[in-house]
Structure 1
Amino acid sequence: MKTKMLNILSILSALLFLNGGLNKLFNYIPVPPDLPPALVADNAAFMEIEWLMPLVAIVEIIGGLLLIFRKTRAIGALVIFPIMCGILLIHATVAQSGLPLAIGLSLILGWIMLDSKNKYLSLLD
């Protein structure tokens, strides 16, 4: 039961990361008009660095694809971890309305990483 739940949550979070990465590349989700001014300023600053958003998008897409499959889930969690830290910090400091989703995704990622701890420990040997 626990493995089944982790598989379902991993696939759902992978789909969220895939959607986020693809949206960064193709901009198909409209930007809400009521974004906080600080978030708009942060996004404008990120967009000034031309290579940053495509890099984040590619990492989200690769990490999302890796999270889907059980064999690659551990490395996918490591790939997504820095992106998730950024998402969590942005929502904790600037856009608190997205904080529940960011915390939920962080908890799922933490569960995946905790479930994969033996794979990570073998890297340290």
Structure 2
Amino acid sequence: MKSKILFILCLLTGLLFINAGLDKFFHYMPVPKDMPDKMVKAGMAFMEIGWLMPLVGAIEVLGGLLLIPGRTRALGAIVILPVLTGILLACISMAPSALPIAFALIAVIFWVIIDNRGKYLPMIGK
């Protein structure tokens, strides 16, 4: 039962990141009307750096794709972690109302990391 719940959560989280990453290339989602001005200005500034949004988008798509199958889930969680850190910091500093969503994503990724902790030990030399 635990593995089915984790699969569903990883599927939803993976699809969310794939969608967010593809939007950075194709810009098909409208900007929410109630988005804080600080967040809109930061997004515009990030878009001025021509390579940044495509890089983040590619990492989101790759991480989302890796997060879905059980075999690559541990790698997907590590790929997504830096992006998720940026999401958390942006929510804390500019849009605290989005923190529940960020915490939900963090919970899923941490569950994957904890569930696969044995796969990470060789990376830290143990």
TM-score tier, shorter chain, comes to over 0.9
**5+ residue gaps, structure 2:** none
The separation in 2 between residues aligned to 1:3 and 1:122, in whole angstroms, is 24
The separation in 2 between residues aligned to 1:63 and 1:19, in whole angstroms, is 11
Over the matched positions of the two proteins, sequence identity in percent amounts to 50
TM-score (norm: length of structure 2): 0.95
| 1:43-96 residue CA offsets vs partner (Å, 9 max, x unmatched) | 111111100000000000000000011010000000000000000111111012
Aligned equivalent of 1:106: 106
Any runs of at least 4 consecutive aligned residues in structure 1 with deviations exceeding 3 A, and if so which?
none
Q: Is 1:24 matched up with 2:40? A: no
The separation in 2 between residues aligned to 1:110 and 1:34, in whole angstroms, is 29
Kindly report the root-mean-square deviation, in angstroms, between the aligned alpha carbons of the 2 structures. 0.9
Instruction: Give the drift of 1:33.
Output: 2.6
The one-letter code of the counterpart of 1:94 is M
**5+ residue gaps, structure 1:** none
The separation in 2 between residues aligned to 1:52 and 1:40, in whole angstroms, is 16
The one-letter code of the counterpart of 1:104 is A
Instruction: Give the drift of 1:34.
Output: 2.7
